[in-house]
Amino acid sequence: MKTLIKNGTVVTAGETFKSDLLIEEGVITSMAQGMSEEGADEVIDAAGLLVMPGGIDPHTHLDMPFGGTSSSDDFFTGHKAAAFGGTTCHIDFAIQQKGKTMVDAIQEWKKKAVGKAAVDYGFHVALTDPVDSSIEEIPELLKEGVSSLKIFMAYKGAFQVDDTTFLKALKKSAEHGLTTMVHAENGDAIALLTEELLAEGKNAMGYHNVAHSAAIEAEATARAVSFVEMTNAPLYIVHIACEDGLEAVRKGRAKGLPVMGETCVQYTHITDDWIDTEDFEGAKYICSPPPKGEDDKAAVWKALRDGTVQTVATDHCPFWFEGGKDGRIPGKELGKESWVKVPNGVPGIEDRFPVMWHLGVNSGKISPNRFVEVTSTNAAKIFGMYPQKGSVSVGAHADLVLFDPEMEHTISAETHHMNVDYNCYEGMTVKGWPKQVMVRGKTLVKDGEWLGEEGYGAFVSRDADNEIL
C-alpha cells in the first residue's frame, strides 16, 4: 500500500518546512516537494494542514486496579480516545504486585493490551515489592522490551518503597542501561498528615491539597535529585506540579546531573482551588500530586519553555465521577464521605495534544516545534523509540497527525471518547484539531470518524541505553 500526502507543512521538533511524504507499508520512504502521484494507491491533500509526528504520551494508567476500583479506560477505549486526540503511542505502567515479579506484571499488562490495542504502546514497570529479588530482576526487564522502571516515594502501604530500595534500583538500572522514573512526594509525611486531618474530622475535598502540599512534593523531588548526585544514575521525575520541585530539577540539571522532568497537561491549566470546593465537584480533579497555585502553574509553563522539563504527559488515570451504577465500575463517588477515599487520577489522554497546542502555541508560550518536542519527540528519545516514533523523517513509522490549525472544537464529556463522565477541559474551545490521525500508515481517525480497529495497535519493544536529554 502506497499513500502520498501532498501539499502539507511538516512540523518537527527541529524545523518547519513544506514537503510531500510517501508512505509504503506503514513507513515514510520518501520526502520531497512536488512528488508525483503515479503509483500511489491513495493521495491525501494536506494543503493548509500541519503534518506532525503523532503524540506520544509517556505516562498513562489504563485498566489499572487502584483506589478500591480500577481506572475506567481499557486498552481499547483509551486507545480510541488517544487517537481522536492525536496521540498515536503511549507508555503505560505495569504495576508489580507484592510477592510477584516485575516480569509477571509486564506479562499481565501485555495480556490486558493484546487484542484490544488500537494505537501503539509500550510499558514501564513499577517496582513495588522492596525485596532483593526485585533489584536482581532489573536486567531481565529488557528481555520483555521494557527499559524503564518506576519507583513510588508515595502511597505508603501500597506502592511506596524506601530510600534504600530507590537507591539500589537507581544503581542497578543505570548499570544495565535502564532509565529510572520516580513519583516524587513524601509518602511518610502524607500518611501522617492524613491521619491528623482525619482525626480532626477534616474530610472536605480541599484537604487532599493540604496532605499533598507543595512542600511534600518539593522535598521528595529534591531528595530524588540528590540521589542522582550520589549515583550519577539517570532519573526521570514524573508529573511535576510545583515551582519548588521544578527548581530542584533545574538546579540538578545546572550541575550537569542526568535528571529529566515531566509535567502533565492538567498542571498547565488547573489549579488547587478546583479541588477545594464546598461540594463534591472538586473530587474530579483529585490526583497526586495535585495541581498547585497560580505561581506553580506559571512555573510549569516556564519549565516547559526553558527546557527544565522535557515532556508533557497526561498521567491519564480516569475514574467515573458517578460510578457504581448503570453498569459502571465504582469511581470518584467512593470518596463522597472523605477526600481520602477518592480514587486519585484524572482523564486526559484525548485532550493533551489539542489542549497543549491551544494553551501553548496559540498563546505564544511555546513554538510549534517545541510543542512537537514536548508532546512527542522527547518521549521517543528518552524512552528508546526514536527515530521510529516521534519523528517525521524517511525510515520513521508513519504515525502522523494531519492537524488543522484553524479548526475550532469545544471539548466536552458529551462528545469525547474517553470512558468517563466528565472532562477536565469541559467547555474549552480549542483552535487547532487533528483532522486525520495515522498509525503506521493506517488512518484511525478522519474528520471525526473512527476508522481504527481493535487489535491493530502493536507493542513497542524498547532497548537499553537511551538518550538523556
Q: Which residues bind Zn ion (CB under 5 A)?
A: 183, 315
- Residue number, 183 or 253, with CB nearest to Zn ion: 183
Residue 274 to residue 282: CA distance in whole angstroms:
6
Shortest distance, position 184 Cβ to ligand URP, whole Å: 10
Shortest distance, position 344 Cβ to ligand URP, whole Å: 3
- Residue number, 124 or 440, with CB nearest to ligand URP: 124
- Residue number, 77 or 288, with CB nearest to ligand URP: 288
Contact 228, 258 (CB under 8 A): yes
Binding stretches for ligand URP (CB under 6 A): 61, 183, 287-288, 315, 317, 344-345
Name which of Zn ion, ligand URP, none residue 141 binds, using a CB cut-off of 5 to 8 Å depending on partner kind: none
Q: Give the nearest residue (CB) to Zn ion.
A: 183
Name which of Zn ion, ligand URP, none residue 352 binds, using a CB cut-off of 5 to 8 Å depending on partner kind: none
- Residue number, 273 or 454, with CB nearest to ligand URP: 273
Name which of ligand URP, Zn ion, none residue 287 binds, using a CB cut-off of 5 to 8 Å depending on partner kind: ligand URP
Shortest distance, position 59 Cβ to Zn ion, whole Å: 5
- Residue number, 85 or 291, with CB nearest to ligand URP: 291
Name which of Zn ion, ligand URP, none residue 345 binds, using a CB cut-off of 5 to 8 Å depending on partner kind: ligand URP
On the 0-12 / 13-18 / 19+ scale of CB atoms within 10 A, 27 is: middle
Nearest of 92, 98, 135 to residue 116 by alpha carbon: 92
Shortest distance, position 364 Cβ to ligand URP, whole Å: 29
For residue 321, how many other CB atoms are within 10 A of its CB? 17
Contact 323, 72 (CB under 8 A): yes
> Hey, what's the cell of 460?
513497542
Name which of Zn ion, ligand URP, none residue 172 binds, using a CB cut-off of 5 to 8 Å depending on partner kind: none
- Residue number, 156 or 409, with CB nearest to Zn ion: 156
Centroid of chain to Cα 367: 20
Name which of Zn ion, ligand URP, none residue 417 binds, using a CB cut-off of 5 to 8 Å depending on partner kind: none
- Residue number, 287 or 396, with CB nearest to ligand URP: 287
Name which of ligand URP, Zn ion, none residue 344 binds, using a CB cut-off of 5 to 8 Å depending on partner kind: ligand URP
Shortest distance, position 345 Cβ to ligand URP, whole Å: 4
Shortest distance, position 78 Cβ to ligand URP, whole Å: 14
Shortest distance, position 282 Cβ to ligand URP, whole Å: 14
